[in-house]
Structure 1
Amino acid sequence: MQHTTQVSRVTAPADLENVFAIRREVFVVEQNCPPELEWEFEDESTHFLATVDGEPAGACRWRKTDKGYKLERFAVLAKFRGKGVGQELVKAVLADLPTDAAYVYMHAQIQAVPLYEKFNFVKIGDEFEEAGIRHFKMIKNG
């Protein structure tokens, strides 16, 4: 059965509540991230919500930092994983970045590295731990 995945840049309180609920489920409940590390920089971030057939399925955000543009908080609910939601989120975020976004980077969880590599991100430096989870810094190459 074909499903319709849609990703939207969101600002409405109801949409943001869906974004935060997805992140809470994935990061705080599933991955045991401390809640105080999960909720930061919300006001300066640009948030995205992915839906599958109208049902909230995934979320992410980008924000401008002193280094460039950081892609963050990619989260897909367990029942929607493996259905291309993550790819649609990455496409939407990259398409939304300002045209002068020369330096685009992220801290990618190890299991998500292959997804980001499909979009020309490359690992930089050694593996590190963030919120008790193994990550690599990745930068967009071209």
Structure 2
Amino acid sequence: MPAKIIVKKAAEQADLDKIHAIRYEVFVIEQNCPPDLEIEHNEDSTHFLATVDGQPAGACRWRKTENGYKLERFAVLKNFRGYGLGQEMVKAVLADLPVDADYVYLNSQTHAVSFYKKLGFEESGPEFEEAGIKHYRMVKK
């Protein structure tokens, strides 16, 4: 069991490099997402790095879109799954959103829908495919 989980907003290049490496490992290598799709919208996003006992372990981001505020690219390295890191990342991102963020949504991989439901999101619309993976749009209640 990890002793200390920290999720922090990342602005320094060293942290952004760690985030990119985590996302590359999870999305490109594990899930076969196209590399160019994985880095899409990086410049328009607010990024977060999660560490476990000081080790880079997870990454996520949010960005403002024409629809509202979108939470994206939640990735946890295999060695750190099952310790509550994903939940801490969602909480950190939600806490960082502007006060006027009235429409908050994400595209959840189908297997993660129940995880996001526990955190106050609900499905909105039919299942769809993105990067060869089945997803549901989920909206914060």
Q: TM-score, length-normalised on structure 1? A: 0.97
Name the counterpart of 2:9: 9
The answer (yes or no) to whether the contact 2:2–2:53 under 8 Å persists in 1 is no
Name the counterpart of 2:76: 76
Q: Which consecutive segments of 4 or more residues in structure 1 shift more than 4 A?
A: none
SS in 2 for 1:70: strand
Taking the aligned partners of 1:137 and 1:96, their CA distance within structure 2 comes to: 21
Q: What RMSD over aligned residues (CA atoms) do the two structures have, in Å?
A: 0.8
Number of residue-to-residue matches in the alignment: 141
Identity %: 63
Taking the aligned partners of 1:114 and 1:11, their CA distance within structure 2 comes to: 31
Aligned-partner residue type, residue 97 of structure 2: L
Taking the aligned partners of 1:89 and 1:111, their CA distance within structure 2 comes to: 18
Structure 1 residues 27 and 2: alpha-carbon distance in aligned structure 2, compared to 1, 3 A threshold: closer
The answer (yes or no) to whether the contact 2:121–2:139 under 8 Å persists in 1 is yes
Q: How far off its partner does 1:44 sit?
A: 1.0
The 5 Å alignment of 1:47-86 reads 47-86=47-86
Q: How far off its partner does 1:2 sit?
A: 4.6
Q: TM-score, length-normalised on structure 2? A: 0.98
Unaligned runs of 5+ in 2: none
